[in-house]
Every structure is written in structure tokens, then in C-alpha cells.
Copies of this chain bind each other. A is one copy, B any other.
Amino acid sequence: MNSIFSFLVPIIVGISLYFYPAPGGMDTQGWHLFAIFVATITGLIFKPLPMGAVALIGMAATVLTGTLKLQPEALSGYGDSIIWLVLYVFFIARGFIKTKLGIRIAYKFVQWFGRSALGMGYSIVATELFIAPFIPSSAARAGGIMFPVVTAISESLDSHPHDSTRRKIGAYLHKIAYNGNLITSAMFLTAMAANPMCQSFAATQGVQITWSNWAVAAAVPGLLSLLLIPLFLYFVFPPSQKRFDHAPAMAQKKLSDMGQMSGQEWLMAGVFLLMLGLWIFGEPYGISAATTALLGLCLLLVTKILSWDDILNEKEAWHTLIWFAILVTMAKYLQIYGVVAWFSTMVSTLVEGRDWMSAFGILVLIYFYSHYFFASNTSHVSAMYAAFLAVAIAAGTPPLVAALGLGFCSSLFSSMTHYGASSSAMFFGAGYIDIGTWWRLGFLISVVNLLVWFGAGGVWWKILGLW
């Protein structure tokens, strides 16, 4: 893309919005932040400079215009545990790679499922489905478990980031793993941190969400999504190599060449199992996913599986720290400055007087696609779920359909951007998929998911008697 042009577009977008009068009822400061946020996102897409630089300039703009104070506002994202969970998991993934445990697991995968690209795709989503009910942090599950394995599988099949081999298989598998994570997050109350928030918001409005009514309602559309998305990507974003007939034999050979697991690998496996245990059982004891990852990282440092230099060399982690924290901060202040509340009020006037189906349809679409303006599921749910649920119920939507439907959206809507969930920062950060492709595919997947969940899902909910 022409470089002057790519510089000018975000600047023009930002300045035009900034100096355009704030719409009635919206605070000027909120409007200014919105302008800078949109300009920053535009900059991320047109890419006059690398992502981190664009984000830093966006942050500088918020500070220099007086929209955010540097401290405690603009820098506050750097103190957010979401960000550090992502960083810790990046570092831990390096331990998988360094000890060769990652590649060993990857070879096992390839040995069993590696004959075809599609087979590997399905085996990845199956793994996700298997562990999702037990690990309430989708970011930990995606980043701490699937991410290092998927990266190792790609590498083992000679598909590397940032070069011409990335489309061979790596890009395909990364996109599948990411979306598999989102779909399984939507399938179980205990598969994603914001799902129990939905449950409690719904409870205050008299709607009883339970582990089982959630899982039952999600089962059919969820399984359908898990079946469809790998196939869909297989056609719209095909891996350039589809058959790997010799791969299982190659993997078996490599495994026998590797021999027994080394002491370092056993240590890595031990730390991993400990983390897995804490991710499954830790939350009730106040051990958050990020704390578990921090503990795991410390153990890898103490056991010298990771050297400090490994940490400092993990450039993609540092890059993610810079841009992701800034987007999280901006999204947070869009909410604090009342932009989200203003928007919710607009929406409720929009659906007034409609029948419940079209009202709920509009609400779902707006709830879903407004995730372009959020950098975490949790903040989106806490900002909008309760308001949208109230409007939907008031419009006559059967309460449980409204509560669960919006709940399912609360994971699925992250497919669209590379900052929509903590896990997106990792899978995108791996470098297999460029930003334009990520967004384009993300949008297409969102359409497929909406059709599956509210089309086939709607039929299923009718059968279940939910409406």
C-alpha cells in the first residue's frame, strides 16, 4: 500500500471525527476518545508503521489532546492481568519449544491425525472441546495449551511464520485453533471467564442460567460450528498442502529418533500439569489464570528450563504488551466515559415497538458487531450484556433464549479482530496470518456462526421448548 496514503487515512479519519461535534447526549471527551480509537484501528489496518508504533502514537494522541491522563489512565492497561497472562503464556510456550516437549506432542498429533490438513484441523477442535468444560480461562486454554502445540505442529510440517511457507498448513491450523477456542468457550458456562458474569446478570433479571441448560442449548449449534468452521476455512482459506500422506510415518520416525523424554521435558511436563491442575481447580481458591501462569513461569525460570535471555528475546511478547495494553485501555475508557452507555440507549430506542423476533435480531447483531470496539469479552459483557438483555426481554423475547443467545455471542464475537480476546493476540501474534486476512476471515466466520447458532440453534431451542 502506498506509504503516504496509509499515513494519511488514519490521520484524516481521526481529525474528521475528532472535530466533528459529538452526537447529542455523548460527552465530548468520550467522543474524542472514540475518534482516536477509530483512527488507531484504521492505522492498525492501513499499517503506515508496525502495530506497536501505531498504538503508541494513538496513546500519545489521547494524552496530548488531554483525552486521557498519562497516569493513571493511559498507562493503566499495563497493569491489567489480561495483558500479563498473555505475556506469561508467550514465555511458557517458549519452554514447550525449547525442551522439545512441544514438538514431541506435535509429532504424536501428526502421527495419529496428520494424514490430511482437515484431519489435523478436526483433531485440534476435538482437543479444545475435550478440555473446554474444565478450564474457565479461555486465554489460558488457548495460549497455554493449544497455542504451543499448534505452532509446533506447523513447524514440524515445515510451515513457518512470516515467510512463504505459512499458508502451507500453519495459517490454516492457527485460524482453526483460535476459532475452535471461541466456539468451545461459547458451549460451556465454565469455559470462559465472562460466562458466569452473564449468568449472574441474567439472575438479577430473573432468568435462571445453569451449567446444564447452557450446555444443552449450546450442544447442537456448538457441535455444528465445530464441524463447519474447519471445513469452511478449508475452502475459503485453504492450506496450500492438503494431503500429508507421509507425515504420520515421518512423525513416527522423528519420535523414535528423539528417543526417551529428557529430564527437561519431564520437568516441563510437570510444570504444565501443575498449571493445568490450577487452571481447572484454582479459581475457587482465588488463584486466577494469570497467577497460575506467573507461577508456571517462575518454576520454568527456577528450573532453568527458561533462561532470562529467552524471556528478553521473546520479541512478539513485548510487541503484544505494547499494542494490546493500549487497545485494552482505550476500550476500557470508552466504557468509563459513557460511550457504551450512550450507544445502548440509542439501541433501545431503535427496537422500540418491533415484534420480539426482529427486535432480538437487531439486538444480537448490534451486540455482536459492537465487539469491533472491545478488546476483551469480560469488558464487553460487563458493559453491555445486562442492558441488552433487559431490552430484549422488554421487547418480548423469551427470557432464557435472550439470556443464552447473548451469552453465546459473548464468546463468538471475538472472531472478528486480532484484539477481540486475549487469545487472539497470541494466535495472531504467531505471525502466520496478516491483519487484513485475519479481519476478512473473522468477519466471514462471524456470519457463519450467527447463521448456525441462531438458525440451526433456533430450531434446536424450539425443540427444547425454550420458545
Binding site for B on A (CB under 8 A): 49-50, 52-53, 56-57, 59-60, 63-64, 66, 70-72, 75-81, 84, 286-288, 290-291, 294-295, 297-298, 301-302, 308-309, 311-313, 315, 318-319, 322
Q: Which residues of B contact A79 (CB under 8 A)?
A: 71-72, 75-79
Q: A49-B302, A56-B294, A71-B79 are in contact. List 8 more A-B contacts (CB 8 A).
A: A50-B308, A52-B308, A60-B291, A64-B287, A70-B84, A71-B288, A71-B290, A318-B318
Provide the bound-state CA to CA distance between A315 and B297, in Å: 18
Q: How many angstroms from the CA of A309 to the CA of B51 in the assembled complex?
A: 11
Residue in contact with A294 in the complex, picked from B52, B59, B287, B294, CB distance below 8 Å: B59
Q: Please report the C-alpha to C-alpha distance between residue A318 and residue B78 in the assembled complex, in whole angstroms.
A: 13
Q: How far is the CA of A53 from the CA of B53 in the complex (A)?
A: 28
Contact A63 to B294, CB < 8 A, known contacts A71-B81, A79-B72? yes
- Given A56-B297, A64-B291, also A312-B308 (CB < 8 A): no
Contacts known (A49-B308, A288-B70, A308-B50); A56 close to B319, Cβ less than 8 A: no
Chain multiplicity (copies): 2
A and B contact pairs by CB, cutoff 8 A, 20 listed = A49-B308, A53-B301, A56-B297, A57-B298, A60-B295, A63-B291, A70-B81, A70-B84, A71-B80, A75-B78, A75-B79, A75-B80, A75-B84, A78-B78, A308-B319, A309-B315, A312-B315, A312-B318, A313-B315, A318-B318
Contacts of A60 in B (CB 8 A): 291, 294-295, 298
Query: Roughly how many angstroms separate A301 CA and B71 CA in the complex, as a whole number?
Result: 22
List, in ascending order, chain B residues with CB within 8 A of A49's CB: 301-302, 308
The main secondary structure of chain A at its interface with chain B is helix
CB distance from A40 to the nearest CB of B (A): 12
* Chain B, residue nearest A85 (CB): B70
Q: How far is the CA of A84 from the CA of B116 in the complex (A)?
A: 48
Docked Cα-Cα span, A235 to B57, in Å, equals 47
Measured CA separation A9–B70 after assembly (Å): 40
Nearest CB on B from A318, distance (A): 5
A290 and B78 within 8 A (CB): no
Docked CA distance A64–B299 (Å): 13
Q: In whole angstroms, how far apart are the Cα atoms of A259 and B168 in the complex?
A: 50
CA distance A318 to B315 in the complex (A): 10
Hey, which chain B residues are within 8 Å of A295, CB to CB?
60, 64
Q: B52 near A311 (CB under 8 angstroms)? A: yes
Evaluate whether A298 and B80 lie within 8 angstroms (CB atoms) in the complex, with A70-B291, A315-B312 already known. Answer: no
Residues of B within 8 A of A309 (CB): 315
Whether A56 and B301, one on each chain, are in contact in the complex, defined by CB atoms closer than 8 angstroms, is: yes
CB pair B291–A57 under 8 Å, yes or no, is no
Tell me, rounded to whole Å, the shortest Cβ–Cβ distance linking A134 to chain B. 22
Which residues of the other chain, B, contact A298 by a CB distance below 8 angstroms?
53, 56-57, 60
A53 contacts B308, C-beta separation under 8 Å: yes
- Given the complex of chains A and B, what is the CA–CA distance between A60 and B77 in angstroms? 20
The residue in chain B whose Cβ has the minimal distance to the Cβ of A289 is B70
4 closest pairs, A vs B, by CB? A79-B79, A50-B308, A78-B78, A71-B81
B315 near A319: Cβ-Cβ < 8 Å: no
Q: Shortest distance in angstroms between A26's beta carbon and chain B's nearest beta carbon?
A: 24
Roughly how many angstroms separate A298 CA and B76 CA in the complex, as a whole number?
19
Which chain B residue lies CB-closest to A79? B79
A95 to chain B, nearest CB (A): 13
Contact residues in B for A81 (Cβ distance below 8 Å): 70-71, 75
Distance to closest chain B CB from A33 (angstroms)? 17
Q: Are B75 and A286 in contact (CB under 8 A)?
A: no
When the two chains form their complex, are residues B78 and A286 in contact, meaning their CB atoms are under 8 A apart? no
Q: How close is A332's CB to chain B, nearest CB, in angstroms?
A: 12
Query: B70, A290: Cβ atoms under 8 Å?
Result: yes
Contact partner, A301, options B57, B59, B80, Cβ 8 Å: B57
Complex CA gap A314/B77 in Å reads 21
Q: Which residues of B are found within 8 Å of A72, using beta-carbon distances? A: 79
Can you name the residue of chain B whose Cβ is closest to the Cβ of A296? B60
- Set of chain B residues within 8 Å of A64, measured between Cβ atoms: 287, 291, 295
Bound together, the chains give a CA A448 to CA B119 distance in angstroms of: 73
Q: Chain B residues near A294: list those with CB within 8 A.
A: 56, 59-60, 63, 70
